[in-house]
Amino acid sequence: MSYWREKVAVVTGCNNELGVALTAGLVKEGMTTVGIDNDVEIVNEIAARVKFLASGKYNGKLVLFKCDTSSMDEVKAVFKKIVDTYGGIDLLINNAAYKDDSLINAGNKDTLKKTIDVNVSGAVACTRLTVESIMKRKTRGHIIHINDIRSYQLANQDTNSVYLTTKYAVTAINDTLRHEFRYLKANIKVTNIAVETAIEDNKPLLSPEEITDVVVATLNTPEHVQIHEIIIEPALQWYKG
């Protein structure tokens, strides 16, 4: 991780368990880590938890901003502030997600729009602004999408089809970006990390710290090595019950 020390990372959706672990993990690795989320009331709580998790190796810097990634105006304002303050963005982890428990053909239209705005439009907006910063400085960067393994395994009776469809779209976006960067000769890696989640509360079955270790290992690959996609799940889950 020597390359990434003192570089700038942005983690969206930093208020959930995985977001906190990712933020703490990058701070421990010496990065200036900017966590963004739409709930300003928990910012101080997040800061305390991240510093606790990163204690003993708290070598990086933690910055927190309120930002609703479904709002393009808020995204533009926050990313401009990050670039103006720290000179640029080198790493983006798209972890923000909104879950609408409904079908595509039925359900509340407002929550359907919110799901698409956060999971797809918001992720794309954050990606575009990060890429703009990287390419302007002609430097090296990485975009990581935290995805859901269930988007690969659509269940016949799953009511989360709107949410899962947006996560499937993220997989397509990741693959398209890889080809775009190759065409543009941009030194930017993209990785889609599909995580096994518990259906009842949408929390990872693996610990957030274990998933964070995979993210750090991905960042630690040589510059010429790109990991396109990772599917991560508990090794013994198929032997239960």
Q: Which residues are catalytic?
A: 163
CA-to-CA distance for 237 and 57, rounded, in angstroms? 33
Residue 205: C-alpha distances to residues 118, 154, 209, 211, 233 (Å): 23, 18, 11, 10, 7
Task: Quote the Cα angle for 210-2-13, to 5°.
Answer: 45
Compute the Cα dihedral for 112, 202, 164, 93 and give only its sign.
positive
Query: What distance in Å separates the CA atoms of residue 176 and residue 241, rounded to the nearest whole number?
Result: 40
Instruction: Tell which residue, 79, 99, 97, has the closest CA to residue 88.
Output: 79
Read out DSSP for 185-200? T--EEEEEEEE-B-TT
Degrees, nearest 5: CA angle 176-205-230: 25
* Rounded Cα–Cα distance for residues 161 and 103 (Å): 5
